[in-house]
Structure 1
Amino acid sequence: MNMGLEIKSEVGFRGALPFLSTLVLLVMMQLQYRVFFLDNLFPFLSLAAVYYWCIFKPQLMPVSVVFLLGILQDILSGGPLGMMALLLVLVRIFVVWQSSRFLEREFLFNWLGFIFITLAFGLGTWVIASIYLKQSQNFWDSFGQSMVTIAVFPVVFLTLGWVRNLLVKESR
């Protein structure tokens, strides 16, 4: 009975909140902030959002939506088309597959899982970009971007938790 109420309440705007919040973070990544030491180190905010929503509301972040967000990010960033889509879909598959280990755990456990995923994600972006561009890219930029992403994850987690509470309040 409650499941039907939850599904019903997640249709429409509130059901689109995971997609919309990830889209906002994705667009924020593409804005050209002129911070002298962070030009190439802006965090993978879309990764943090996909990770979060795939733990707490995976039904609202299906593979098709993750793929669309990844393609959009590739187009906006001018990177290899399909790179972010592939990596984000792989993250989604892994997190949903392991969701029982992440759900209802303490924040530090989720952050530790995110650290490993982010490091693998950064390595993946470096490898794919190097292969695509046929020359080795600067590994330290990818590593630094991963470190910045790990550092800002608590803020993204709290912000998306607030958005998720909007979904929970509606179903009551």
Structure 2
Amino acid sequence: MNHLLRERRGKTQPGIEPEPTVKHRADVAVRDAVPWLFMAICVILLSAPTGLPGGTELMFGVSVGTVYFWSAHRPESMPVWAVFLIGLLADLLSFGPPGTLLLSLLIVHGVAHTWRYGLSRINFIWGWGLMSVLALSLTLFQWMVACIGALRPMSPVPSLFQAALAAGIYPTLSVLFVWTHRTIVNPERA
């Protein structure tokens, strides 16, 4: 009898968690937006005419690394609509073949999001290697599209530089993102 009474009380009485306030919901929304806002700011800054050598290639590396990390480790902070919009912005601001950067970011998001459970179980070196292979294949795809668009073979050296830069910057981005994940985006895990 006591068991039934306890069950009935549990169903009729409200839980002990208070209703989230508007301030709390806004705080959660801003914390979830940090990764894609970082990527949007980097795309805008790296596409600006600052005279930074390799700025466009660095924009590709930062974008791919950001999408790869956050899609694998916290997918709710890197939704597909944000990847699409920032990829579209990056395509509009870069002088590469139209649509290739957008498609590349969507492919990276799809791969990292689909394999996120496996990526969470492997060590950093294997994850970095997978990201590097993914960046290399996507830059070669961009190179092929550029060759088709120019109707002549072009040098693959800029594409290889772009892939090497994407692979080389990922460990630094990863350290920054792990710190951001533990302190800003998800402070309960600090």
Aligned mates of 1:39, 1:25 — CA distance in 2: 10
Deviation of the 1:128 alpha carbon: 2.0
Where do 1:107-118 residues align within 5 Å?
107-118=124-135
Mark the CA change 1:41 to 1:83 in structure 2 (over 3 Å): closer, same or farther.
closer
Q: For each residue in 1:113-139, what CA deviation from the matched residue of structure 2 results, as whole angstroms up to 9, or x when unmatched?
A: 111111111112112222234333321
Q: Secondary structure at the match of 2:186?
A: helix
Letter in 2 for 1:102: L
Contact 1:9–1:15 (CA<8 Å) still a contact in 2?
A: no
1:168 alignment counterpart:
186
Q: Which has the higher contact order (CA 8 A, sep 6+)?
A: 1
Aligned mates of 2:44, 2:33 — CA distance in 1: 16
State yes or no: 1:24 paired with 2:41. Answer: yes
Q: For each residue in 1:49-79, what CA deviation from the matched residue of structure 2 results, as whole angstroms up to 9, or x when unmatched?
A: 1111111111221221111111100111133
My pick for the range that moved more, 63-72 or 156-165, is 156-165
Contact 1:40–1:141 (CA<8 Å) still a contact in 2?
A: no
Q: Secondary structure at the match of 2:29?
A: coil
Aligned mates of 1:111, 1:64 — CA distance in 2: 25
Contact 1:29–1:45 (CA<8 Å) still a contact in 2?
A: no
Mark the CA change 1:30 to 1:144 in structure 2 (over 3 Å): closer, same or farther.
same
2:137 alignment counterpart:
120
Contact 2:147–2:153 (CA<8 Å) still a contact in 1?
A: yes
Contact 2:56–2:94 (CA<8 Å) still a contact in 1?
A: no
Where do 1:97-112 residues align within 5 Å?
97-112=114-129
Contact 1:71–1:81 (CA<8 Å) still a contact in 2?
A: no
Equivalenced residues, count: 169
- Alignment TM-score, normalising by the size of structure 1: 0.83
My pick for the range that moved more, 103-112 or 140-149, is 103-112
Aligned mates of 1:49, 1:148 — CA distance in 2: 14
Structure 2, gaps ≥5 residues long:
1-14
Q: 1:53 aligns with which of 52, 70, 75?
A: 70
Deviation of the 1:171 alpha carbon: 7.5
| Identity between Structure 1 and Structure 2 (%) | 23
Where do 1:1-172 residues align within 5 Å?
11-34=28-51, 38=54, 41-42=57-58, 44-165=61-182, 166-169=184-187
Give the number of the structure whose alpha-carbon radius of gyration is greater: 2
Contact 1:9–1:170 (CA<8 Å) still a contact in 2?
A: no
Deviation of the 1:154 alpha carbon: 0.8
Contact 2:66–2:173 (CA<8 Å) still a contact in 1?
A: yes
Aligned mates of 1:78, 1:47 — CA distance in 2: 17
Mark the CA change 1:40 to 1:141 in structure 2 (over 3 Å): closer, same or farther.
farther
